[in-house]
Amino acid sequence: MEKIIQLQDIFFSYGDFKAIDGISLDIGAGVYGLLGPNGAGKTTLLKVVLGFLTPSSGHGRVLGMGISSSRKAVRRKIGYMPENDCLIPGMDGVTLTAYLGELSGMPRQEAIKRAHEVLYYVGLEEERYRKVDTYSAGMKQRLKLAQALVHDPQLLLLDEPTSGMDPKGRKEMLDLIKDIAGKGSMNVIICSHLLPDIENTCRRVIILDKGRIAASHDIEGVSEDRFNRFNLKLKGETGAFLEKLESLKCEIDVTDRGLYKIKLPAQESSRKLFEIALASKVQIRHFQQSRTTLEDTFVTAIGVNHEH
């Protein structure tokens, strides 16, 4: 497998606060998702990969180059769509995109030509001569994507690409990302705290929490039994409840966070769980149907009270 990013025991702190608390990972070619709640360390990790932040310890390679040794060369080959605004007030869309292309090492004429192309691609053809300060939140996101694409990078890092967008804009942004991914010529990493963003675009997902890798997950095809999986938190004496579930041929897993993951046989409905709980004098304190396998992994890794 071609290695796009390799990190080994990376630590990074802001002052005393450990934002990256020992991360090792291998990312191959293709499209990867980096999923985690706000504050998990996703943005910090991207900045370490880009060489904007220097880890306090650990080694890393990106596209075959050392992250701390060849920062300039690394950035020429990486397109970065940051989470926060990177737009320069007073510039129009084309000028800004071309300028950022030049900063990535493109000759001026080529940068200008490519700027027009990528702005057309992201759907900003009409607005390309407008000052970027007058752009809506959705247009700014598109422009941020355009500037990340302008120098035709080998690796695209997208940080919260649908941030601030309305549902229609979000769908269009995800469609663009899927289109880029589908072409297969660019490796893509998408960071998001939104499960659907990752689920819609990636097949391979790394889940981050509190500066560590909490799980990794391959999104499989849609499994038929996915609607019969439930995550429960229980209060009371659970012995009788679990025995009855077992006699119904349920599959039961308990996570170390005390979450019961129950798969009901196909013919049973979730109502059965409540009936058995009532009969066994157990209180169901939390009940969630797990709709997809990624959601299941995420809930198990992060706990139930994550933000959506």
Ligand X SMILES: Nc1ncnc2c1ncn2[C@@H]1O[C@H](COP(=O)(O)OP(=O)(O)O)[C@@H](O)[C@H]1O
Task: Provide the minimum distance between the beta carbon of 121 and ligand X in the complex, in angstroms, as a whole number.
Answer: 26
Q: Which is nearer to ligand X, 34 or 94 (CB)?
A: 34
Q: How many residues bind Mg ion (CB under 5 A)?
A: 3
3-state secondary structure of 259: coil
Q: Where does this chain touch Mg ion (CB under 5 A) — which range of 35-43, 69-77, 118-126, 135-143?
A: 35-43
Out of Mg ion, ligand X, none, what residue 289 binds, judged by CB under 5 to 8 A for its kind, is none
Out of Mg ion, ligand X, none, what residue 19 binds, judged by CB under 5 to 8 A for its kind, is ligand X
**Alpha carbon separation from 208 to 24, 66, 74, 190 (Å, rounded):** 12, 23, 24, 13
Out of Mg ion, ligand X, none, what residue 201 binds, judged by CB under 5 to 8 A for its kind, is none
Q: Which is nearer to ligand X, 19 or 156 (CB)?
A: 19
**C-alpha to C-alpha distance for 198 and 202, rounded to whole angstroms:** 6
By the rule CB under 5 A, 163 interacts with Mg ion: no
User: Which residues make up the interface to ligand X (CB under 6 A)?
Assistant: 14, 17, 19, 36, 38-44
Out of ligand X, Mg ion, none, what residue 33 binds, judged by CB under 5 to 8 A for its kind, is none
Burial group, residue 277, by CB count within 10 angstroms (0-12, 13-18, 19+) = buried
Out of Mg ion, ligand X, none, what residue 14 binds, judged by CB under 5 to 8 A for its kind, is ligand X
Task: Provide the minimum distance between the beta carbon of 183 and Mg ion in the complex, in angstroms, as a whole number.
Answer: 26
Dihedral sign for Cα 73, 74, 78, 79, please. Answer: negative
Which residue from 35, 43, 61, 97 is in contact with Mg ion, where contact means CB under 5 A? 43
Nearest CA-CA partner of 264 in 225, 233, 224, 299 = 225
Task: Provide the minimum distance between the beta carbon of 154 and ligand X in the complex, in angstroms, as a whole number.
Answer: 23
User: Please, which residues bridge with residue 287 across strands?
Assistant: 232
Q: Which is nearer to ligand X, 145 or 282 (CB)?
A: 145
* One character per residue 65-84, x = contact with Mg ion (rule: CB under 5 A): ------------------x-
Could you tell me which residues come within 8 angstroms of residue 223 by beta carbon, excluding any fewer than 6 positions away? 293
Task: Provide the minimum distance between the beta carbon of 159 and ligand X in the complex, in angstroms, as a whole number.
Answer: 7
DSSP type of residue 227: G
236-253 CB burial, b ≥16 within 10 A, e <16: eebeebbebbeeeebeee
Could you tell me which residues come within 8 angstroms of residue 246 by beta carbon, excluding any fewer than 6 positions away? 252
Q: Which is nearer to ligand X, 1 or 17 (CB)?
A: 17
Q: Which is nearer to ligand X, 19 or 155 (CB)?
A: 19
Q: Which is nearer to Mg ion, 83 or 92 (CB)?
A: 83
Residue owning tokens 């601030």: 164
User: Please, which residues bridge with residue 209 across strands?
Assistant: 212
Strand order of the β-sheet with 78-81 is 78-81, 155-159, 187-192, 31-35, 204-209, 212-218
User: What number of other Cβ atoms are within 10 A of residue 158's Cβ?
Assistant: 28
Task: Provide the minimum distance between the beta carbon of 195 and ligand X in the complex, in angstroms, as a whole number.
Answer: 14
Out of ligand X, Mg ion, none, what residue 129 binds, judged by CB under 5 to 8 A for its kind, is none
User: Please, which residues bridge with residue 20 across strands?
Assistant: 12
Q: Which is nearer to ligand X, 147 or 163 (CB)?
A: 163
Q: Which is nearer to Mg ion, 111 or 214 (CB)?
A: 214
Out of Mg ion, ligand X, none, what residue 308 binds, judged by CB under 5 to 8 A for its kind, is none
Burial group, residue 17, by CB count within 10 angstroms (0-12, 13-18, 19+) = exposed
Which positions lie near Mg ion, rule CB under 5 A? 42-43, 83
